[in-house]
Amino acid sequence: MNYRHIIIAIACSLLVTMPVYGQTSVIKRNTAQQTVSKKPAVRWADKASSYSEGLCWVKDKNGKYGYIDEKGKLVIPCKWVDVRDFCEGLARVRDDSHKLGFIDNTGKTVIPCKWKGASSFQEGYAWVKADDDKYGFIDKTGALVSSCQWEKVEEFSEGLACVKDENKKFGFVDKMGKLVIPCKWEHATSFKDGLAEINYSGCYIDRTGKIVKVAIRKNQEYYDGLYCWYDDTGKFGYIDSTGTVVIPFQWKRATEFNDGFAIVWDDEEKYKGIIDKQGKMITPCKWKYIHGDSYYLGYRDKIFSEGLAGVGNDNHKYGFIDKTGKLVIPCQWKWVGPFSEGLCWVKDKNGKYGFIDKSGNIVIPCKWSNAENFSNGKARVQDVNGVRLYINKQGEIIR
């Protein structure tokens, strides 16, 4: 056999195994089968999408769009200026007037092309944009369920859709078109797993609009298992290690928890109160001073010392409350310290220091220019001459 015969034999073998457009060919080789992918029976001028719900949009040589089935057969003629994939049984199409509508999988127009903008259907609804650039929502019959009144909208997700009103605030509507979460946020994302982020803040709301979770920050430190944080309005509350809000954001200011208690401020930052880890008010926001309130976040001094907390009133007089919030030592002192070893230094109206017990009785008279807490049975004091001395619990000078 010469070279010419060999070339002819190879060409014939290639023709036998070559697939035909519009068909699926199977090549048998060593008993193994290889399926060649389907190809459209029409040569398209531009491009084609992937299949969605059994149909694939294509663009012909005239620049018009239609759809082919999985066999490559043209089942919806190329007559549209633009199209999108089928979603929930309908596909968005644009006609020669450049208006948008929807067709079904037979090519029938089920929602007339009259919208300036439109999304694909999701959860049974699609947003549409009217000629005045306002947005609304339609169902699969084309009926408006929410009138075109919104500046911006997103697709429905978990039964709610994010909308932006004329004041540039974000909220959420349900599938009846009812505004169920008021438009009050600077920004909001669609719901996912029952939560939506608001204001790029790392704060997440639930379907009632209540902030219930906060994004955990790296190396975040917790105090008594809770972390003091604030929402998008600047109100303080507390989250646990999962970011779940356990005490709602409601305070103008707040300290971290220490030994089971935290100090909170009212809306005017004028008065302070104490809460426990369940958010219960131990004492309402009525005190001008509470021991441990000197700093913002991160202040770790104990509020209660030996079961009592120093408090001050509007008259700048100081006393003590117990852990039920009861005033057990009247506010009569010019200044007080924390209790230590059963005694607490106090400053009288003359500016002199002494010590009282937990019943409020004076056990060491107020005669010192300064005084410090007791430690190991002794306390350092300063006399009128500025000399620093140590005294015991009977007030006697220790040499």
Instruction: Tell me which DSSP letter residue 87 carries.
Output: B
Indicate the average pLDDT of the chain.
Answer: 87
pLDDT at 133 over 70: yes
- For the chain, first and last CA: distance in Å? 127
Instruction: Tell me which DSSP letter residue 366 carries.
Output: E
Report CA 258 to chain centroid distance, whole Å. Answer: 26
Whether residue 3 lies inside any domain: the answer is yes
pLDDT at 73 over 70: yes
List, for residues 90-101, the tens digit of each pLDDT value.
999 999 999 999
Instruction: Indicate the number of domains in the chain.
Output: 2
What pLDDT is recorded for position 10?
A: 43
List, for residues 281-308, the tens digit of each pLDDT value.
999 999 999 998 764 444 457 899 999 9
pLDDT at 51 over 70: yes
**pLDDT (mean) for 12-35:** 36
Q: Which strands make up the sheet holding 272-276, listed edge to edge?
A: 261-265, 272-276, 281-287
Whether residue 32 lies inside any domain: the answer is yes
Q: What span, in angstroms and rounded, lies between the C-alpha atoms of 172 and 382?
A: 66
Q: What span, in angstroms and rounded, lies between the C-alpha atoms of 209 and 198?
A: 10
Tokens representing 53 are 């719900």
What pLDDT is recorded for position 302?
A: 87
CA-based torsion, 154, 156, 160, 166: positive or negative: positive
Q: What confidence tier does 38 reach under pLDDT thresholds 50, 70, 90? A: very low
What pLDDT is recorded for position 219?
A: 72
Whether residue 198 lies inside any domain: the answer is no
Range of the domain at 343: 334-399
Beta-bridge partner residues of 92: 102
Tokens representing 49 are 């999408």
Q: Could you count the other beta carbons within 10 Å of the beta carbon of residue 361?
A: 9
Whether residue 5 lies inside any domain: the answer is yes
**pLDDT (mean) for 257-269:** 93
Whether residue 378 lies inside any domain: the answer is yes
Whether residue 138 lies inside any domain: the answer is no
Q: What span, in angstroms and rounded, lies between the C-alpha atoms of 139 and 127?
A: 9
List, for residues 354-388, the tens digit of each pLDDT value.
999 999 999 999 999 999 999 999 999 999 999 99
Q: Is 313 helix (H, G, I), strand (E, B) or coil?
A: coil
Q: Is 130 helix (H, G, I), strand (E, B) or coil?
A: coil
Question: Do the Cβ atoms of 81 and 59 come closer than 8 Å?
Answer: no
Q: What span, in angstroms and rounded, lies between the C-alpha atoms of 18 and 110?
A: 42
Beta-bridge partner residues of 226: 223
Q: What CATH number is given to the structural domain containing 350? A: 2.40.10.480
pLDDT at 221 over 60: yes
What pLDDT is recorded for position 376?
A: 95
What pLDDT is recorded for position 297?
A: 40
Report CA 291 to chain centroid distance, whole Å. Answer: 34
Whether residue 340 lies inside any domain: the answer is yes
Residue 156: what are its φ and ψ, rounded to 5°? Answer: -65, 140
Amino acid identity of residue 365, one-letter, is P
What pLDDT is recorded for position 39?
A: 42
Whether residue 380 lies inside any domain: the answer is yes
What pLDDT is recorded for position 315?
A: 95
Question: Is this prediction's pTM over 0.95?
Answer: no
What pLDDT is recorded for position 50?
A: 86
Q: What confidence tier does 222 reach under pLDDT thresholds 50, 70, 90? A: confident
